[in-house]
Chains A and B, each alone.
Chain A
């Protein structure tokens, strides 16, 4: 790892989307008017597809190298060198960032293509592709940056693009409010992340190795365990690592929508559906997962943080899944599902199963993108309708959407041999084998809820009778090829995407894990990863338990929503309807935040504004009044004393001059008489003096 291969193609992967974004933003409106939307399509999709081709080539090149040589560095230029912090604009390609790059450009490219169909009638077509391209660029910077500051630049960049795309249809107030919410909630996490970077740097500086280059931090991190430092009250750097990783995880909860900062993601569904698929399912929200996996050497050093991550992940997985049960908006269900699945990923990271977490990240990108795009296809056909209660029976009208949606649903539910079975069930098992029994229970229950809400969604949308208006029914159609083909590709990926890592009790085939192994090779990580139970028998047994829960969840949904032998009202009215009420209203978390954070904040700002206008301004105004009074006094003195003296002097001069000027008669004779008289006088005076 100390000698990465210097390459120059990584910059191309990153620059291509930036070029696309630049062209679309600067000339997009003109291009769209002059050459039509296909010009935008060509640029917007072309750059991402080209980037994917480059990334795929790099991937095969990487596969040809032995594992210890799979590190490539593209060092562009020195960024800054300040106070011992010396960073380059440099991009780092290793197996982990390789996988992320393939997901971003691959799934991202597919979603770009899908968008050409979905957004075809929108006037802001060029703007949309500009933002999508810019997002792709920022996301690539995030995953490929070789130091943590560059990662943070990408981290903020994707946040900006997310904000802009959630509020893409900005003419509706609710959309821009949702964008603001996403941005502001993310800010909370970002603050923690920045503090974490500063503290980590301070700790490393105290340990004698000031750096934030990720691979160097990885190299020096073990030293932190031994070096005594004195920073911010921490006696040893080891304690500091706990502090730093916890703050980083708070940053991740913002970006990756975990408890307590998940509230923005469901609202983010206000954006166009391809945006939900690309940013709020497949890529951006996984940035936190990527960050923890990338910095696994730090996180593994702090058992406390790992425990927090596992518990928060497990809790989020269950919590969001239960909310998903009662939602009626087709995209909201998927949004809560995403929050829940991200919880699974974090739970995997928290228990030390990094590879499983990243694997679920990848398969989730496939099937959740497929689900979102499928829902987009449905919404498109329904003319913008998102309420599942008004759908139904769509499977005959939209076969491609239906079958791909079902494939992705199977993948999400973890049905063998669909992708989710290999990734999600692995996480559930890993939680148990690493001794996190509570987390395991959460995840297992969450899996049951997942199946229930997904089955409910499929039944409500595609089965039964159509419940919408007559006009909508007449208008129903399968989506255009640009959308349906993308669905087919993603549907296939949802099937085969999981075959890269089989459970050990079945086959010993896990190239994915072996590919990532060099990333998770630090000593601390090895200890965390290899702890726990290794029993094929137990693994198989727990897989069966999971399957039972999954089947139970499906059976319930089937009874209620397909066979309709169970009335959902029986459950919603249980215990006086209170539990249903709570779930339906998302546990009143938004209301709670509104009361606990937003309203106090607004109250505080109002109080401060009052303080400002009345107290601070009062002081300022008082000072001003005093100054005005003093100036008035000074003015009096000026007017009556100084000016009087000046005027007196001038008056004297004026009056004297006025009298003296009479002497100047202008008559030459007069002067001559004067001269004569003066001479006479002088002579007379001399005569008198002599006498």
Chain B
């Protein structure tokens, strides 16, 4: 198939994006940064869906799942940003280390 690019390439790409996403989520102290990392993780999953769909039999269920995930991500971003705004109003910062009031 086209250009010798195989499923494994996509999986490696996906793994890289997932790793970048996880790294972002784990290391960022800025809440918006963490949300962006989450977007990366979701998109790595989308890459997997599309890749498996493309190489797996030409059906469209993978694409449809990807659309669902995008939609989900949009909704998640809305909620997440709303939470961030609320946190900002309460703490005057969006540094997640500062929001430790639920510590037991």
Flag whether A233 is at the interface (Cβ < 8 A): no
On whether the beta carbons of A676 and B26 are closer than 8 Å, the reply is yes
Residues on A with C-beta less than 8 A from B53 are none
Contact indicator per residue, chain B 85-104, by CB within 8 Å of chain A (1) or not (0): 00000000000110111111
Q: How many A-B residue pairs have CB under 8 A?
A: 33
The answer for the CA separation of A511 and B101 in the assembled complex, in Å, is 117
On whether the beta carbons of B26 and A669 are closer than 8 Å, the reply is yes
On whether the beta carbons of A666 and B22 are closer than 8 Å, the reply is no
Could you tell me how many residues of chain A have their Cβ less than 8 Å away from some Cβ of chain B?
Answer: 13
Contact indicator per residue, chain A 652-682, by CB within 8 Å of chain B (1) or not (0): 0000000011111111110011001000000
Flag whether B66 is at the interface (Cβ < 8 A): no
Contact indicator per residue, chain A 626-669, by CB within 8 Å of chain B (1) or not (0): 00000000000000000000000000000000001111111111
- Contact A662-B104, Cβ < 8 Å, known A668-B34, A672-B25, A676-B22: yes
Instruction: Name the distance in Å between A664's Cβ and chain B's nearest Cβ.
Output: 3
On whether the beta carbons of B97 and A669 are closer than 8 Å, the reply is yes
The answer for the CA separation of A110 and B97 in the assembled complex, in Å, is 111
Q: How many interface residues does chain B have, given as a range?
A: 10 to 19
Residue of A nearest to B29 (CB): A669
On whether the beta carbons of B104 and A667 are closer than 8 Å, the reply is no
Residues on A with C-beta less than 8 A from B104 are 660-666
Residue of B nearest to A661 (CB): B104
On whether the beta carbons of A665 and B100 are closer than 8 Å, the reply is yes
On whether the beta carbons of B26 and A666 are closer than 8 Å, the reply is no
On whether the beta carbons of A667 and B97 are closer than 8 Å, the reply is yes
The answer for the CA separation of A662 and B102 in the assembled complex, in Å, is 11
On whether the beta carbons of A665 and B26 are closer than 8 Å, the reply is no
The answer for the CA separation of A473 and B104 in the assembled complex, in Å, is 110
Residues on B with C-beta less than 8 A from A668 are 34, 96, 99
On whether the beta carbons of A672 and B26 are closer than 8 Å, the reply is yes
The answer for the CA separation of A669 and B26 in the assembled complex, in Å, is 6
The answer for the CA separation of A291 and B22 in the assembled complex, in Å, is 118
The answer for the CA separation of A53 and B92 in the assembled complex, in Å, is 106
Residues on B with C-beta less than 8 A from A669 are 26-27, 29, 96-97
The answer for the CA separation of A204 and B22 in the assembled complex, in Å, is 111
Instruction: Name the distance in Å between B18's Cβ and chain A's nearest Cβ.
Output: 11
On whether the beta carbons of A673 and B26 are closer than 8 Å, the reply is yes
Instruction: Name the distance in Å between B32's Cβ and chain A's nearest Cβ.
Output: 13
Quick one: which of A663, A665, A667 has the most chain B CB within 10 A? Answer: A667
Instruction: Name the distance in Å between A681's Cβ and chain B's nearest Cβ.
Output: 16
Among candidates A661, A663, A666, A673, residue contacting B101 with C-beta atoms closer than 8 Å: A666
Instruction: Name the distance in Å between A199's Cβ and chain B's nearest Cβ.
Output: 89
Contact indicator per residue, chain B 49-70, by CB within 8 Å of chain A (1) or not (0): 0000000000000000000000
Residue of A nearest to B34 (CB): A668
Residues on B with C-beta less than 8 A from A660 are 104
Residue of B nearest to A673 (CB): B26
On whether the beta carbons of B103 and A665 are closer than 8 Å, the reply is yes
The answer for the CA separation of A663 and B101 in the assembled complex, in Å, is 14
The answer for the CA separation of A668 and B34 in the assembled complex, in Å, is 10
Residues on B with C-beta less than 8 A from A666 are 99-104
The answer for the CA separation of A668 and B102 in the assembled complex, in Å, is 10
Residues on B with C-beta less than 8 A from A673 are 26
Instruction: Name the distance in Å between A603's Cβ and chain B's nearest Cβ.
Output: 82
Instruction: Name the distance in Å between B46's Cβ and chain A's nearest Cβ.
Output: 19
On whether the beta carbons of B96 and A667 are closer than 8 Å, the reply is yes
On whether the beta carbons of A664 and B103 are closer than 8 Å, the reply is yes
Residue of B nearest to A663 (CB): B104
Residues on B with C-beta less than 8 A from A672 are 25-26
Among candidates B22, B25, B27, B100, residue contacting A667 with C-beta atoms closer than 8 Å: B100
The answer for the CA separation of A660 and B25 in the assembled complex, in Å, is 26
Instruction: Name the distance in Å between B81's Cβ and chain A's nearest Cβ.
Output: 15
Contact indicator per residue, chain B 6-40, by CB within 8 Å of chain A (1) or not (0): 00000000000000001001110100001000000
Residues on A with C-beta less than 8 A from B99 are 666, 668
- Contact A664-B102, Cβ < 8 Å, known A669-B96, A669-B97: yes
Quick one: which of B34, B97, B99, B104 has the most chain A CB within 10 A? Answer: B104
Residues on A with C-beta less than 8 A from B103 are 664-667
The answer for the CA separation of A665 and B29 in the assembled complex, in Å, is 15
The answer for the CA separation of A667 and B28 in the assembled complex, in Å, is 12
Residue of A nearest to B101 (CB): A666
Residue of A nearest to B97 (CB): A667
Quick one: which of A660, A662, A665, A666 has the most chain B CB within 10 A? Answer: A666
The answer for the CA separation of A313 and B22 in the assembled complex, in Å, is 127
For chain A residues 557-593, which have a beta carbon within 8 Å of chain B? none
Residue of B nearest to A657 (CB): B104
Quick one: which of B22, B99, B100 has the most chain A CB within 10 A? Answer: B100
For chain A residues 459-504, which have a beta carbon within 8 Å of chain B? none
The answer for the CA separation of A665 and B99 in the assembled complex, in Å, is 10
Instruction: Name the distance in Å between B54's Cβ and chain A's nearest Cβ.
Output: 26
The answer for the CA separation of A668 and B27 in the assembled complex, in Å, is 11
Instruction: Name the distance in Å between B26's Cβ and chain A's nearest Cβ.
Output: 6
The answer for the CA separation of A667 and B96 in the assembled complex, in Å, is 7
Contact indicator per residue, chain B 65-83, by CB within 8 Å of chain A (1) or not (0): 0000000000000000000
Residues on A with C-beta less than 8 A from B26 are 669, 672-673, 676
Instruction: Name the distance in Å between B36's Cβ and chain A's nearest Cβ.
Output: 14
For chain A residues 213-272, which have a beta carbon within 8 Å of chain B? none
Instruction: Name the distance in Å between A111's Cβ and chain B's nearest Cβ.
Output: 98
Residue of A nearest to B22 (CB): A676
Residue of A nearest to B31 (CB): A668
Residues on B with C-beta less than 8 A from A661 are 104
The answer for the CA separation of A572 and B25 in the assembled complex, in Å, is 135
Residue of A nearest to B99 (CB): A666
Pairs across A and B, CB under 8 Å, 16 listed: A660-B104, A661-B104, A662-B104, A663-B104, A664-B103, A665-B103, A666-B101, A666-B103, A666-B104, A667-B100, A668-B96, A669-B26, A669-B29, A669-B96, A672-B25, A673-B26
Q: Apart from A664-B102, A669-B27, A676-B22, list 8 A-B contacts with CB within 8 A.
A: A662-B104, A665-B104, A666-B99, A666-B101, A666-B104, A669-B96, A669-B97, A676-B26
Q: Which 10 A-B pairs have the closest CB atoms?
A: A661-B104, A664-B104, A666-B103, A666-B100, A666-B102, A668-B96, A665-B103, A672-B26, A672-B25, A667-B100
